[in-house]
Amino acid sequence: MGYGAGMYRDMGRYVRGDVILAPVPFEERRGAKTRPAVVVAARGNGDLCVCPVSSRPSLDTPCIPIGLDDFAEGGLDLFSESFVLTSKVSVLRAGDVIGLKGRLTADAIDTISSQVPHPSHPPQNRKGARRPPSKR
SS3 120: coil
Domain assignment of residue 120, yes or no: no
Domain presence at residue 128: no
CATH number, domain with residue 38: 2.30.30.110
CA torsion through residues 92, 95, 98, 99, sign = positive
In a domain, 74, yes or no: yes
The pLDDT assigned to 107 comes to 97
Residues of the chain with confidence (pLDDT) below 70: 1-12, 27-29, 78-79, 118-136
- 19-22-28 Cα angle (round to 5): 110
Residue 26's H or E segment, with its range, is: none
Domain count, the chain: 1
* C-alpha Rg value of the chain to the nearest Å: 14
pLDDT at 58: 85
Asked whether residue 96 is assigned to any structural domain, the reply reads: yes
Full residue range of the structural domain in which residue 45 is found: 18-115
Quick check: 16 and 32 in contact, CB under 8 A? no
Q: Specify the pLDDT at position 13.
A: 85
SS3 104: strand
1 lies in some domain: no
State residue 19's pLDDT score. Answer: 96
pLDDT of residue 1: 39
Query: pLDDT for 30-69, tens place per residue?
Result: 788 899 999 999 988 889 999 999 998 888 888 999 998 9
The answer to whether residue 63 sits within a structural domain is: yes
Does 82 map to a domain? yes
Q: Is residue 134 part of a domain?
A: no
